[in-house]
Chains A and B, each alone.
Chain A
Amino acid sequence: MSDAWTAISEWMLPLVVSVILLAGAWRRVPIYQAFVQGAKGGFSTAVRLIPHLVAMMVAVSVFRASGAMDGLVHLLDPVLTWLHVPAEVAPMGILRPVTGQGSLALMIDIFQKHGPDSHLGLLASTMQASSDTTLYILTVYFGSVGIYRFRYALAVGLLSDFVSVLASVFAVWLLSGIIQV
């Protein structure tokens, strides 16, 4: 069973790429041209991320190097243990709904310290991927049509973000037995 899942995750990337290319060719999309057109945006997207990541990585590394992160983790430990959330990803869970780039910086921090394939690395990846930046979405979406009364939208967003964190822990626990990480 675990071998099968390892095989699936190994095959996944080449398979996805092939399917996309074949689907494109079948629908008579000029695939090479379309790829180049789309990929062109990659540079500007990455460059646009630089100021956000510099700002957040600096703040996060100050927070971590000073020992404040350890303090916070220590403080939250009893609650988190009860919820089965590893303390290392707790700051990420707090930051995720507020700033996607900030939690991305924390995810990278975990990749650097524990590796992307570790239990924590996979959990951090899942937390980052399975939810969106609630405050950003609310601001942009409501702002674009000039709505000031959000009603219950913020409460729904934040509550489901909290559920998403627990769901990520559950999903990684459920599947890490099957996917070999």
Chain B
Amino acid sequence: MIDFIWLALFVSGVGTAMVTGRMQVVSNAILKGAENGVELCIGLIGAISLWMGLMHIAERAGAVAWLARRLKPIAHRLFPSVPADHPAMGAILANMSANLLGIGNAATPLGLKAMEELQKLNSHPDRASDAMCTLLAVNTASITLIPTTVIALRMQYHSSHPSAVVLTTLVASLIGTCAALAFDRIFRALSHRRQTP
């Protein structure tokens, strides 16, 4: 999929340049683009380090555990097939909390742990269970309180309000997550009906 998109961007770009006669501009753009990519990452080190440092403090202070406790009642409703005291529930809660805090590199390992635990409850090991589908719906649309990378990049580009994105992201991701859960419910009901005619 990524291969296809990458190729399509190049081929359609070069193709258009042949028609529009902008080959010189495109030729410059190739090298300029590579340079931009590196410069950007180097410039990003400061802001990313800052957020990762702060988030590490928050994590050590128990922010993930605190949020997980708050989320428990919601998680029970979202994952009716997972017993409350099963380790899968703990991993799901930790994964959701890390997502909320925008600690992406903590959320993925926790999510994988949750998948591992959910797999133990799964009766068809090569087929996704209902709870797994819900977990993925929550993760792909993830509600985000602090979008750390985007704030870092806004700082990098001298935004006068780097955190203006917090409020808009909260609203947008809340709507997105509600939609994801609604779709999940609808598709789950449809797939159950198909299985038990």
By a beta-carbon cutoff of 8 Å, the part of chain A in contact with chain B is 6, 9-10, 12-13, 16-17, 20-21, 23-24, 26-27, 29, 31, 34-43, 45-47, 49-50, 53-68, 71, 95, 97-99, 102, 104-105, 107-108, 111-112, 115-117, 121-122, 125-135, 137-138, 140-142, 144-153, 155-157, 159-161, 163-164, 167-168, 170-172, 174-176, 179, 181
Rounded to whole Å, the gap between the CB of B136 and the closest CB of chain A is: 5
The one of B14, B51, B54, B116 in contact with A66, judged by C-beta atoms closer than 8 angstroms, is: B14
CB atoms of A53 and B16 under 8 A apart: no
By a CB distance below 8 angstroms, the chain B residues around A170 are: 171-172, 175
The one of B17, B125, B135, B188 in contact with A152, judged by C-beta atoms closer than 8 angstroms, is: B188
Answer yes or no: B34 CB below 8 A from chain A CBs: yes
Binding site of A, secondary structure by majority: helix, strand, loop or mixed? helix
CB atoms of B57 and A29 under 8 A apart: yes
Rounded to whole Å, the gap between the CB of B182 and the closest CB of chain A is: 9
CB atoms of A153 and B37 under 8 A apart: no
Answer yes or no: B126 CB below 8 A from chain A CBs: yes
The size of the chain B interface, using a CB distance under 8 A, is 104
CB atoms of A179 and B60 under 8 A apart: no
CB atoms of B150 and A125 under 8 A apart: yes
By a CB distance below 8 angstroms, the chain B residues around A133 are: 140
Rounded to whole Å, the gap between the CB of B168 and the closest CB of chain A is: 4
By a beta-carbon cutoff of 8 Å, the part of chain B in contact with chain A is 1-2, 5-6, 9-10, 12-17, 20, 22, 25-26, 28-30, 32-34, 36-38, 40-42, 44-46, 48-63, 105, 108, 111-112, 115-116, 118-119, 124-128, 132-133, 135-137, 139-142, 144, 146-147, 149-151, 153-154, 157-169, 171-173, 175-177, 179-180, 183-184, 187-188, 190-191
CB atoms of B112 and A59 under 8 A apart: no
A153/B133 contact (C-beta < 8 A), A141-B139, A170-B172 known: yes
CB atoms of B165 and A126 under 8 A apart: yes
CB atoms of A130 and B52 under 8 A apart: no
CA A131 to CA B177, docked complex, whole Å? 9
Binding site of B, secondary structure by majority: helix, strand, loop or mixed? helix
By a CB distance below 8 angstroms, the chain B residues around A46 are: 41-42, 44-45, 48-49
Rounded to whole Å, the gap between the CB of B64 and the closest CB of chain A is: 12
A129/B29 contact (C-beta < 8 A), A146-B126, A168-B168 known: no
Rounded to whole Å, the gap between the CB of A172 and the closest CB of chain B is: 5
CA A116 to CA B92, docked complex, whole Å? 34
Shortest Cβ distance from B112 into A: residue: A144
CB atoms of B13 and A131 under 8 A apart: no
CB atoms of A145 and B119 under 8 A apart: yes
CB atoms of A108 and B50 under 8 A apart: no
CB atoms of B61 and A63 under 8 A apart: no
CA A54 to CA B119, docked complex, whole Å? 37
By a CB distance below 8 angstroms, the chain A residues around B167 are: 9, 171, 175, 179
CB atoms of A65 and B26 under 8 A apart: yes
CB atoms of A68 and B12 under 8 A apart: yes
CB atoms of A35 and B54 under 8 A apart: yes
CB atoms of A59 and B10 under 8 A apart: yes
CB atoms of B105 and A138 under 8 A apart: no
Shortest Cβ distance from A180 into B: residue: B161
By a CB distance below 8 angstroms, the chain B residues around A152 are: 133, 184, 187-188, 190-191
CA A122 to CA B179, docked complex, whole Å? 22
CA A33 to CA B165, docked complex, whole Å? 29
CA A45 to CA B135, docked complex, whole Å? 25
Rounded to whole Å, the gap between the CB of A131 and the closest CB of chain B is: 6
